[in-house]
């Protein structure tokens, strides 16, 4: 199904370690990771997949009490961004509706 929508590579997280699989494809890390699942493990994996200056976009949430941890030193050093979307309309400007964000950037 993923290939029908244009995916060039597909990672099945039930058969492989997703962070390692992404890093095999993108040794420098991903520029953007979208989390539509909303689980702690998935958000933390998304952060680990990011390259320098990469952004994690949290779109889904499974429960209101879900928390995700991050190493703040690595987040700042890696200039990683985390954005939470309050609307998930499938449009080209969906990321412009991200209203809550935390940007970790070394100045």
Kindly list the structural domains of the chain, giving each domain's residue range(s) and its CATH number in brackets, ordered by start: 29-103 (3.40.50.720)
| Threshold 0.75, pTM exceeds | no
> What is the mean pLDDT for each group of 10 consecutive residues in the chain (107 residues)?
85 92 95 91 93 91 83 87 70 40 41
**Residues 49 and 22: beta-carbon distance below 8 Å:** yes
**Residues 76 and 106: beta-carbon distance below 8 Å:** yes
Residue 8, helix vs strand vs coil: coil
Could you count the other beta carbons within 10 Å of the beta carbon of residue 51?
18
The shares of helix, strand and coil residues in the chain, as percent rounded to the nearest 5, are 30, 25, 45
Bridge partners (DSSP) listed for residue 85: 98
């Amino acid at each position: 199904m993923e290939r029908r929508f244009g995916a060039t590579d597909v990672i099945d997280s039930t058969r492989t370690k997703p962070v390692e699989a992404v890093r095999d494809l993108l040794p420098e890390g991903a520029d953007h990771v979208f989390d539509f699942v909303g689980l702690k493990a998935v958000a933390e994996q998304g952060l680990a997949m990011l390259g320098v200056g990469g952004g994690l976009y949290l779109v889904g949430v499974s429960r209101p009490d879900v928390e995700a941890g991050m190493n703040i030193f690595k987040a700042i050093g890696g200039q990683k961004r985390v954005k939470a979307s309050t609307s998930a309309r499938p449009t080209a400007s969906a990321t412009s509706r991200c209203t809550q964000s935390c940007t970790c950037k070394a100045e």
